[in-house]
Chains A and B, each alone.
Chain A
Amino acid sequence: AQRVTQPEKLLSVFKGAPVELKCNYSYSGSPELFWYVQYSRQRLQLLLRHISRESIKGFTADLNKGETSFHLKKPFAQEEDSAMYYCALAPFGNEKLTFGTGTRLTIIP
């Protein structure tokens, strides 16, 4: 069975401070991991995926297979980062896309 865990439901960070949103997963095979974001009054959308190894809006995420984690990080938080963030997992060769419970990030001015 595949499972995604986001231990923090709420996270508040001051503007300019570093941000880390935690994500742990369980899956016996080799999955692809994603971060999706939902800004206020907007649709859920892809932020980044582990396989691309890219930085989007200053955010990065590293897949740690030993710890089965895919934490999302940003060195300096901005007010526009306030949103709901979901970690997601999809196994290669299978279309089942599983999401975590989400973390609501609030940036304090």
Chain B
Amino acid sequence: DGGITQSPKYLFRKEGQNVTLSCEQNLNHDAMYWYRQDPGQGLRLIYYSQIVNDFQKGDIAEGYSVSREKKESFPLTVTSAQKNPTAFYLCASKPVRQGQIPEAFFGQGTRLTVV
């Protein structure tokens, strides 16, 4: 079954702890993305990666870190420096092509609650 998988679906952490969210895709897509979805604020881009071993900050990268060691995987770490980490996190991927921009495919999301 091809697609993009985020795990876990729900995650609870104590304040001050780092936590890593998993995102795996078997679609052979070059580009991968992390978004944060908050009510009334839409999808805000945290980080994106166009190719293995390279990634760029999005609009709200502070307090987050990522790695892209494999094409299939783009884990997101929410560090203790993130002031308001409780949110719904969405991962996406898409091919990179010249000309027309392909559609992005999204995971089911991870709801992180920090207590």
Whether chain B is bound by chain A comes out as yes
* Neighbour of A32 across the interface among B35, B59, B101, CB < 8 A: B101
Which A residues are CB-close (under 8 A) to B41? 101
Give A49 to B103 CA distance when docked, in angstroms: 9
User: Are B106 and A44 in touch, CB under 8 angstroms?
Assistant: yes
Task: Give the A interface residue count (CB, 8 A).
Answer: 22
Q: Please provide the chain B residues from 24 to 54 with a CB less than 8 Å away from any CB of chain A in the complex.
A: 31, 33, 35, 40-45, 48, 50
Confirm or deny: A12 has a beta carbon within 8 angstroms of a beta carbon on chain B. Answer: no
User: Are B100 and A6 in touch, CB under 8 angstroms?
Assistant: no
User: Are B108 and A43 in touch, CB under 8 angstroms?
Assistant: yes
User: Are B42 and A100 in touch, CB under 8 angstroms?
Assistant: yes
Which A residues are CB-close (under 8 A) to B94? 95, 97
User: Are B45 and A96 in touch, CB under 8 angstroms?
Assistant: yes
CB distance from A75 to the nearest CB of B (A): 25
CB distance from B21 to the nearest CB of A (A): 16
Give A43 to B108 CA distance when docked, in angstroms: 6
Given A95-B48, A102-B43, do A51 and B106 touch, yes or no (CB 8 Å)? Answer: no
What are 20 A-to-B residue pairs whose CB atoms are below 8 Å?
A32-B100, A32-B101, A34-B103, A43-B105, A43-B108, A49-B101, A49-B103, A86-B42, A95-B96, A96-B45, A97-B45, A97-B48, A97-B104, A99-B43, A99-B44, A100-B42, A101-B40, A101-B41, A102-B42, A102-B43
